[in-house]
Structure 1
């Protein structure tokens, strides 16, 4: 009997056929039987519950504005204890996998003070089947990441930590001498008597360039590493494979098309909200949930991601046919909210709604709004968190000043993702040429702190949250700037300054690395045309005189003093020109903690707001597609 080539056939089948042995199909068995020369498998339904990029954001987001029943309404959004409640609510779902797609760490005072211990304990309130490290797991090197994993390993969950392309050197923190390596290339789960493989990848370039892993830790190419792990699983008789990735939505789509035998991709890193949330007042979405693509075999592969910061929960349903291929996929990402609602009264003041309005709203949400789930946070997870939240509450609550208006968060002007969703006044922030108000404010604070600097520079990815109008406290500052960077003053010529700007944009446009490299500045402004090639994107680069406030064209031959964070000063995030200047010894470490510099700036000013339009770094912007932004 001739058996045609089929990538879903098990390697073992070919061996057994060659030996002339007889295969007997048994009900519920994972072995294939042949009918008309085609392999046949037990049909399988698989459900995948998943989150990503919670970034130590364990508390709920109060006063988040959504549109509910067509009316602007403030709600409490997310919170990890609410995630725990959501995962518990679907615990009875048939054939369920629970996955976390990375970036559990960095982003709040919980990480600043406890270095992942709280995140691990909260993750263990869910008991994920698998977790893949994101780039921010390596922000404080492999050693701190190991401490987080040790905490995660406590108790009965035993979450598998998986990455096929991260290889720690023997004898280092993640591959200790005499002990098992902390990271596995893949893990196998048995679902309804069927083996399901989970293969994971962590984005390589961004982690090496934008975090601080050990120099000896290897980050291999993602697609080749994933395919190697898939082939190893196939050789063991695994016929259903889920890729758990931390590399971004666009990279997931590109990778899926290059891999054989992958059925689903559960991803993170780009903080992508998938689905249509327009009715909830969220206009921007990166794509559909699930996103349906095709793998290298020509078979259906289904992609999912669940936004950020414990705000959303993803649940994907996969149906496999008798040939082992995906027959269909469905599911959705759901926003998790509390049961307290506020709406504006006739005077425009937010007020708690009446019991009658609340009851009607709750009923309507349950009946006709599947993308929102009202949940009470899990009691045990809340109690766990409280033991730590009480310790940081006093520090978080210390007031530092006010924001006179909302400061929107943007990485690249014109990007599709609105990173300020729910912040009043930022509904269209991502579509405007000025870009990130928040990054601009940070740059202004750096320039204020460095008395001898002519201008400052800040990478977009180092600024983590928007700032809502109103009172600011220490928590605002440490959430906005959660890393342990210090300010560095550098001496550069005008030519080097412009080249550094070109480096930053080329990093994401040409090198497909993190768009967190995108530059913002104070005392320095430009016109940017991303439709042009490298070296031609920046024009009319000007410097503001610190004494007179007058703007003039940058002098290519003149030496200027630039203040920036030590991370990009060292050449990280694609800032290769700055790295060369740093290595040449043309820099001075101020040892000013960048978060404290922002705090001191606000304390001195009393209040902060958006600068005059002429003081923004981005004066005009043309997108890569050639669109001129307003």
Structure 2
């Protein structure tokens, strides 16, 4: 027998052995895999005190989440060999923990978990590739060495994320072996939103997500891998759509849309869909889609059962809110009998897990919290009522904030984004109007004390205030661009526009170009409103991020690129702080603007529903 013939025979035998020896034999041993996961923690390392949940039909205040509590939840899997621990991106930016420590606090807390993989969110690039490298270096400094996976992200060699090789920091996938079976975790980072809404280098390539995922699946399948989990930062709806475009994918664990999945109606929370959501892939096989809300408030547990063909035969699981063991009602601690009844009730529901923070993680967090507390403690003013957060009118991001329960019903949209725009206008002596993108404003603000922490959590990015001269037509065009970005172009709804000194009627059921009508401008001296002139030149105050054409504001881009703007070099967060402090100096608190000053006069949703006027 010739040597090459012997080799071919050996390879053929090996292939048959790998496939189980025959057509009727199992290709792979059946295996159960549990994926414990979290997403969009956004530097929210401390717990949320006095968060209201319905428990047995009664409003009850709990301590919700916190990274040390999340660490405890992950540690509950410590003695199990079937668990993969995943983070679906947007670990950083959003609070003073990031502003002050640039990812070190986040990395140190993540290293108390030791994730098996993390994908990159769009906000990982908010401070550019260099800023992301700082965070990843902190993460690498620990003993966990968490793999960073993003199959569709390729930095150019010689840039911060690829000093020697394109995969210095970012791998397309990682492999975990569960009971002898290899499971691939393939990362994906949202393409359009990251390039449009963050600050990656122009040389960093963001490939089409489905193309990159399928290529990686095919490569690994040729190597004998058959179990594929996509770790996605693309959003819940995009994840469901992605599943239908891919062959062989088994599960998609996601982030970006901050989706709470599962039945939380009894606790006063609405969800975006079932946990897990089951769809089918391009082969017609089941795919299990999961996500775990936001801000370290919850952990997802996705249970996957694979059959002897390496296919999903069943999936189940639960996203669980993580709460402390002390409860309040009506602002006061409950008595022992009520405490016991609440604990008993929660033990019967997998949707809420009562769990203590991990001691070591809490001690670590305290070293950062003590430094943050000094800055956070600086009071800047008060809010006389809840200032609700809405991106697109008809939706809300204000769950759990008292006074915002009906915020999705009203045409006015976001109270707090409107106030931020008013702060921009007040901070610019030259501007006629101010424009702010919804996604640049991050939290609803509860009634009560406003602190520096409130301001930096509300406006956490490093954007600065700029002034641009535009015609009325260009101003209308940019509004149409911004709305079209999320209505037509698949961009984030964070691009939705708000303005001060400018108002409109909005009909999102119309085509681009016909959505904004009856535009009016408010005179800064007299306060009177008049029709926007399409030929007149107006000075617009905005943040440099959307001024450069990002987040769908494409008509701003050429103006900014020409250098026809004035940079005030004033951090947009500081503009808000100055506005609040100026009101405080006058003995006034911050409250919702007069209804006539809101940018949205009337709103018809994409579905053709007219929202309530108030």
**What TM-score comes out, normalization by structure 1 length?**
0.93
The equivalent residue for 1:546 is: 524
CA distance in structure 1 between the aligned counterparts of 2:103 and 2:115, rounded to whole angstroms: 16
- Answer yes or no: is 1:358 the counterpart of 2:339: yes
Q: CA contact under 8 A between 2:154 and 2:166: conserved in structure 1?
A: no
Q: CA contact under 8 A between 2:464 and 2:570: conserved in structure 1?
A: yes
The equivalent residue for 1:491 is: 469
The equivalent residue for 1:156 is: 143
Post-superposition Cα deviations, 1:576-625, rounded to whole Å, max 9, x if no partner, equal 11112212333111111110110111111121111111111111111111
CA distance in structure 2 between the aligned counterparts of 1:327 and 1:178, rounded to whole angstroms: 40
- Aligned-residue CA RMSD (Å): 1.6
The equivalent residue for 2:594 is: 612
Q: 1:627 aligns with which of 592, 609, 612?
A: 609
Q: In the TM superposition, what are the counterparts of 1:179-194 in structure 2 within 5 Å?
A: 181-194=168-181
Task: Summarize the Cα distance change of 1:49–1:19 in structure 2 as closer, same or farther, 3 Å threshold.
Answer: closer
Q: 2:20 aligns with which of 19, 23, 32?
A: 32
CA distance in structure 2 between the aligned counterparts of 1:249 and 1:521, rounded to whole angstroms: 29
- Answer yes or no: is 1:211 the counterpart of 2:198: yes
Aligned-pair CA distance for 1:33: 3.7
Q: CA contact under 8 A between 2:108 and 2:142: conserved in structure 1?
A: no
Task: Summarize the Cα distance change of 1:191–1:17 in structure 2 as closer, same or farther, 3 Å threshold.
Answer: farther
CA distance in structure 2 between the aligned counterparts of 1:407 and 1:16, rounded to whole angstroms: 71
CA distance in structure 2 between the aligned counterparts of 1:49 and 1:179, rounded to whole angstroms: 29
The equivalent residue for 2:447 is: 469
The equivalent residue for 2:98 is: 111
Aligned-pair CA distance for 1:534: 0.5
Q: 1:452 aligns with which of 408, 412, 430?
A: 430
Structure 2 gap segments, 5+ residues each: 1-6
Q: 2:34 aligns with which of 22, 44, 47?
A: 47
Task: Summarize the Cα distance change of 1:401–1:24 in structure 2 as closer, same or farther, 3 Å threshold.
Answer: same
Aligned-pair CA distance for 1:16: 7.8
Q: 2:308 aligns with which of 316, 322, 327?
A: 322
The equivalent residue for 2:325 is: 339
Q: CA contact under 8 A between 1:56 and 1:106: conserved in structure 2?
A: yes
The equivalent residue for 2:416 is: 438
Q: CA contact under 8 A between 1:487 and 1:592: conserved in structure 2?
A: yes
Task: Summarize the Cα distance change of 1:422–1:17 in structure 2 as closer, same or farther, 3 Å threshold.
Answer: farther
CA distance in structure 2 between the aligned counterparts of 1:382 and 1:339, rounded to whole angstroms: 16
CA distance in structure 2 between the aligned counterparts of 1:248 and 1:236, rounded to whole angstroms: 30
CA distance in structure 1 between the aligned counterparts of 2:165 and 2:287, rounded to whole angstroms: 40
Post-superposition Cα deviations, 1:3-60, rounded to whole Å, max 9, x if no partner, equal xxxxxxxxxxxx98997537666xxxx6434344x75321110000000000001000
Structure 1 gap segments, 5+ residues each: 1-14, 345-349
Secondary structure class of the residue paired with 1:85: helix
The equivalent residue for 1:299 is: 285
CA distance in structure 2 between the aligned counterparts of 1:376 and 1:17, rounded to whole angstroms: 59
The equivalent residue for 1:536 is: 514
The equivalent residue for 2:566 is: 588
Task: Summarize the Cα distance change of 1:172–1:623 in structure 2 as closer, same or farther, 3 Å threshold.
Answer: same
Name the count of aligned residue pairs: 602
Task: Summarize the Cα distance change of 1:574–1:18 in structure 2 as closer, same or farther, 3 Å threshold.
Answer: farther
- Answer yes or no: is 1:281 the counterpart of 2:263: no
CA distance in structure 2 between the aligned counterparts of 1:370 and 1:583, rounded to whole angstroms: 53
CA distance in structure 1 between the aligned counterparts of 2:538 and 2:141, rounded to whole angstroms: 52
Q: CA contact under 8 A between 1:455 and 1:561: conserved in structure 2?
A: yes
- Answer yes or no: is 1:237 the counterpart of 2:218: no
The equivalent residue for 1:60 is: 47
CA distance in structure 2 between the aligned counterparts of 1:62 and 1:619, rounded to whole angstroms: 35
Q: In the TM superposition, what are the counterparts of 1:101-180 in structure 2 within 5 Å?
A: 101-177=88-164
Post-superposition Cα deviations, 1:544-585, rounded to whole Å, max 9, x if no partner, equal 111221111101111111100010011111111111221233
Post-superposition Cα deviations, 1:489-528, rounded to whole Å, max 9, x if no partner, equal 1111111110010010011111101111100111111111
Q: CA contact under 8 A between 1:500 and 1:577: conserved in structure 2?
A: yes
Q: CA contact under 8 A between 1:130 and 1:162: conserved in structure 2?
A: yes
Secondary structure class of the residue paired with 2:216: helix
Secondary structure class of the residue paired with 1:359: helix
The equivalent residue for 1:200 is: 187
Task: Summarize the Cα distance change of 1:468–1:83 in structure 2 as closer, same or farther, 3 Å threshold.
Answer: same
Task: Summarize the Cα distance change of 1:611–1:34 in structure 2 as closer, same or farther, 3 Å threshold.
Answer: same
Q: CA contact under 8 A between 1:47 and 1:93: conserved in structure 2?
A: no
CA distance in structure 2 between the aligned counterparts of 1:242 and 1:129, rounded to whole angstroms: 12
Secondary structure class of the residue paired with 2:245: coil
Secondary structure class of the residue paired with 1:364: helix
Post-superposition Cα deviations, 1:149-184, rounded to whole Å, max 9, x if no partner, equal 111112321111000000011111111127961100
The answer to which of 46-55 and 612-621 deviates more is 612-621
Q: CA contact under 8 A between 1:312 and 1:333: conserved in structure 2?
A: yes
Post-superposition Cα deviations, 1:251-283, rounded to whole Å, max 9, x if no partner, equal 10110000011000000001111111110011x
Task: Summarize the Cα distance change of 1:325–1:582 in structure 2 as closer, same or farther, 3 Å threshold.
Answer: same
- Answer yes or no: is 1:392 the counterpart of 2:372: yes
Task: Summarize the Cα distance change of 1:507–1:357 in structure 2 as closer, same or farther, 3 Å threshold.
Answer: same
Q: CA contact under 8 A between 2:147 and 2:174: conserved in structure 1?
A: yes
The equivalent residue for 1:347 is: none
The answer to which of 288-297 and 84-93 deviates more is 84-93
CA distance in structure 1 between the aligned counterparts of 2:328 and 2:175, rounded to whole angstroms: 46
The answer to which of 153-162 and 520-529 deviates more is 153-162
The answer to which of 477-486 and 611-620 deviates more is 611-620
CA distance in structure 2 between the aligned counterparts of 1:627 and 1:505, rounded to whole angstroms: 17
Q: In the TM superposition, what are the counterparts of 1:63-78 in structure 2 within 5 Å?
A: 63-78=50-65
**What TM-score comes out, normalization by structure 2 length?**
0.96
CA distance in structure 2 between the aligned counterparts of 1:177 and 1:363, rounded to whole angstroms: 56
Q: CA contact under 8 A between 2:97 and 2:105: conserved in structure 1?
A: yes
- Answer yes or no: is 1:21 the counterpart of 2:21: no
Q: CA contact under 8 A between 1:110 and 1:118: conserved in structure 2?
A: yes
CA distance in structure 1 between the aligned counterparts of 2:510 and 2:303, rounded to whole angstroms: 42
